[in-house]
Amino acid sequence: MGVRVAVAGGSGYAGGELLRLLAAHPQLDLAAVSGHSTAGQPLSSAHPHLRSLSDREFAPTEPSAFADADLVFLALPHGQSAALAAALPAEQKIVDLGADHRLTDAAAWQSYYGGEHAGAWTYGLPELPGQRARIAASHRVAATGCYVVAVTLALAPLIAAGLASPHDVVVVAASGTSGAGRSPKPHLLGSEVMGDLTAYQVGRHQHAPEMKQATGAASLSFTPVLAPMPRGILATVTATPVRPGVSAADARQALADAYRTEPFAHILDEDAWPHTGATYGSNSCHLQATVDADSGRIVAVSAIDNLGKGAAGQAVQCANLMLGLPETAGLAVDGVAP
């Protein structure tokens, strides 16, 4: 028998991907999975693709449902994790896929999310310097936002290496529709999404303060774009060099130095550029960098699966560290194609 884990909010897209990863994990056993409106229904009603879990049933999202779990994943909507986490035993390990415990700045939480700030937990991005050890030593970990994973892995090493200025960072990132959740919304209908690209929450997306917190950027403009695909994020990050003469080779070297031993951060060969399809179903982030020939700005591009490295895969990666398991257990570096 492996380590017993539970999933609160397993009926959504991130919850479903988390269940898929847990079903194949060699050292984790699913103790319970809860849903809100799906309580009492078979798991197959929400996730017919999860054949190995078809005999399971959604429990109510109540603390008692998770009593037998060593670690609980919270895959709940933003603003709903804190109350459940507060009702769980202090010794029970938790990975929160929501935003409730990511931000260290209470004013930023109130400005972008509203309501009372629940306090910050250990930030769940192992690739940041020193963060892996902090995650391994923690009982409470806040998994990174999906857009933030893609942006941070592209930008943070460039700022840390003294190549990119933390001021005047510009990010444009396209995401698949699963990033908007599973609740039915008119603008996410197939007829609305197909053949269309749409910018949204321009100038005030809730992930902007988290991007600044994670990357060290002081000023950041973020434009998210809804793309006609079910999953994936492609982020293009540009920044002003801190000194004249910064080259494409310098930018690539900074990424290579930062991720030389990282299992899930992959620097592409020179002149190859990330695309989302190559990351589907994986926990990998594909990266590339150059310097724009006209403006002189550093350009870094990253691709992830928003449900993988951007959510469920990242959460399992953190849980592995918290439980003393191999960090890569149950996680794929290879994507699925076509």
> Quick check: is 146 catalytic?
yes
Q: What is the DSSP letter of 75?
A: -
pLDDT one-digit tens code per residue, 303-334: 999 999 999 999 999 999 999 999 999 999 99
The residue from 33, 46, 146, 321 that is catalytic is 146
Lookup result for tokens 């990242």? 314
- Whether 164 and 109 map to the same domain: the answer is no
Q: Which domain holds residue 127?
A: 3-144+309-322
- Whether 165 and 110 map to the same domain: the answer is no
Please give the helix or strand (H or E) that residue 5 lies within, else none.
Answer: strand 3-8
CA-CA distance, 152 to 87, in Å (whole number)? 32
CA-CA distance, 223 to 212, in Å (whole number)? 14
Lookup result for tokens 């396209």? 174
In a domain, 252, yes or no: yes
Backbone angles phi, psi at 95, to 5 degrees: -115, 120
Q: Report the number of distinct structural domains present in the chain.
A: 2
Residues 85/71, Cβ–Cβ less than 8 Å: no
In a domain, 329, yes or no: no
CA-CA distance, 185 to 318, in Å (whole number)? 31
Name which of 63, 57, 66 is nearest 7 in CA terms: 66
Q: What is the DSSP letter of 206?
A: T
- Whether 158 and 172 map to the same domain: the answer is yes
In a domain, 336, yes or no: no
- Hey, what are 87's tokens? 């009702």
What pairs with residue 69 in β-bridges? none
In a domain, 42, yes or no: yes
Per-residue pLDDT 10s for the chain (338 aa) are 689 999 999 999 999 999 999 999 999 999 999 998 888 899 999 999 999 999 999 999 999 999 999 999 999 988 899 999 999 999 999 999 999 999 999 999 999 998 889 999 999 999 999 999 999 999 999 999 999 999 999 999 999 999 999 999 999 999 998 876 766 677 777 777 788 899 998 988 889 999 999 999 999 999 999 999 999 999 999 999 999 999 999 999 999 999 999 999 999 999 999 999 999 999 999 999 999 999 999 999 999 999 999 999 999 999 999 999 999 999 999 999 88
pLDDT one-digit tens code per residue, 56-97: 999 999 999 999 999 999 999 888 999 999 999 999 999 999
